[in-house]
Amino acid sequence: MYLITIKEPTRLWLYHKPRGLVTSHSDEKGRATTFDHLPPEMPRVISVGRLDLNSEGLLLLTNDGALSRYLELPTTGWVRKYRVRAYGKISQERLDTLKGGIIVDGISYGPMSVVLEPAQAANVWMTISLQEGKNREIRRVLDFLGLTVNRLIRTSYGVFELGVIPAGAVEEVGQEQFRRVFGGMFVQGGRPPSQN
C-alpha cells in the first residue's frame, strides 16, 4: 500500500514581530518565540530570514521552504528596508561610504543605502536598505561607525510592506497579489526556476 501525500498550496503571511521575541521554533534559554505568539489556527510555518530579539517589524512567514530560500537569496534582489534609531553623531557623507560594502572584524558586508534624517537630540534616525541581511548586520556595521542602535524596525521586504499591521498581528498575502508577485513559480507547490 502506498501513501500519497498532497502538497499544500504555497502560502505567505506578513507578521509584525514585536520586540522581545526570538525568531525560532524553540529557544534553549526558554525565551518566548515568534511562533509561540502566532494565531492557533495557522499551519506550521517557517520564517523568511530572521529578526533578532530586540528588532521588530515585518517578518515574512511561509509554509514552503523553497519560497523561503528563494526570498532570502541575495541574487533574487529582494531589498529589505529598515527604520533605525541610533545613539551618536554621524554625517551623511560617512554613511554614504557603505554603498560599496564594508568589512568589519573580518566579515564582509554588502552594500547598504542609508538616508540620514535630521538629528534629534542625542539620537539619529535613518532609513537603511540592503539585499543581504547577515546576522546582526546593521547593528555591527553602525557600531563600527560609532553608533549604538537602540531601535530597529523592518518596514519592508521587497514589495511587501509592514504598513499599519499592528504589533503581533498576522495578515495573509491574498492569492491575487501572490500570483502577481510570483507568477506560477510557487502556485500549488511549484518551485522557482533554478538560479544560474
Q: Write the DSSP symbol of residue 177.
A: H
- Asked if residue 160 lies in contact with residue 15, where contact means CB atoms within 8 angstroms, the answer is no
Please report where in the chains the cell 499599519 appears, as a residue: 164
The beta strand positions in 56-187, using DSSP E, are: 56-62, 80-87, 102-104, 107-109, 112-116, 123-130, 148-157, 160-161, 170-172
Residue with cell 546576522: 135
Give dist(CA 161, CA 171) in Å, integer.
11
According to DSSP, residue 32 is labeled: -
113 and 130 in contact (C-beta within 8 Å)? yes
Q: Where are the alpha helices (DSSP H) in the chain?
A: 65-72, 92-96, 137-144, 175-182
Just list the catalytic residues.
Answer: 52
Closest residue by Cα to residue 49 from 127, 143, 154? 154
